[in-house]
Amino acid sequence: MGATSERRRTWRTEISLQCTLHRRTGKMIEAQTVDVGPGGMRVHTNRPLGVDETLDFELPDHGRINGRARVLREQAYRIYALRFEKLGDEARAEIARLTQPRDRAADL
């Protein structure tokens, strides 16, 4: 089966972050993350995406996290599951930092 039948193998953390998506041609697509993890993220977009489409992405407010992702499926109206296909070490480390469980004792 193709990528659309794959299921997530890593955890994700619910977190809402500004995200921009870029196709090879055309205008930038504004998005907001629904959740993010080491293997991918779900995003809510203002425009439709195609299943199996590859996009460059950026989370501009968080250490300039950027890379390339593939659209796996549309889970709800304009909410898409994306799998990271290209992600640098610094971006991967920043995603791990943003999504790790917080120690409540450290907040006291």
Q: Are strands 79-87 and 65-76 parallel, antiparallel or unpaired?
A: antiparallel
Query: Contact at 8 Å (CB) between 19 and 32?
Result: yes
Question: What's the CATH fold of domain 10-89?
Answer: Thrombin, subunit H (2.40.10)
Where helices occur in the chain by DSSP H, the ranges are 89-99, 104-107
Alpha-carbon distance 62 to 79, whole Å?
Answer: 21
What's the pLDDT at 21?
A: 98
Residue bearing tokens 């930038």: 28
Q: What is the pLDDT of residues 58-90, one digit of tens each?
A: 998 877 799 999 999 999 999 999 999 999 999
* Annotated domain spans of the chain: 10-89
- The answer on pLDDT for 57 being more than 60 is yes
- The answer on pLDDT for 95 being more than 70 is yes
Q: What is the pLDDT of residues 11-55, one digit of tens each?
A: 789 999 999 999 999 899 999 999 999 999 999 999 999 999 999
Name the token pair of 90: 């610094």
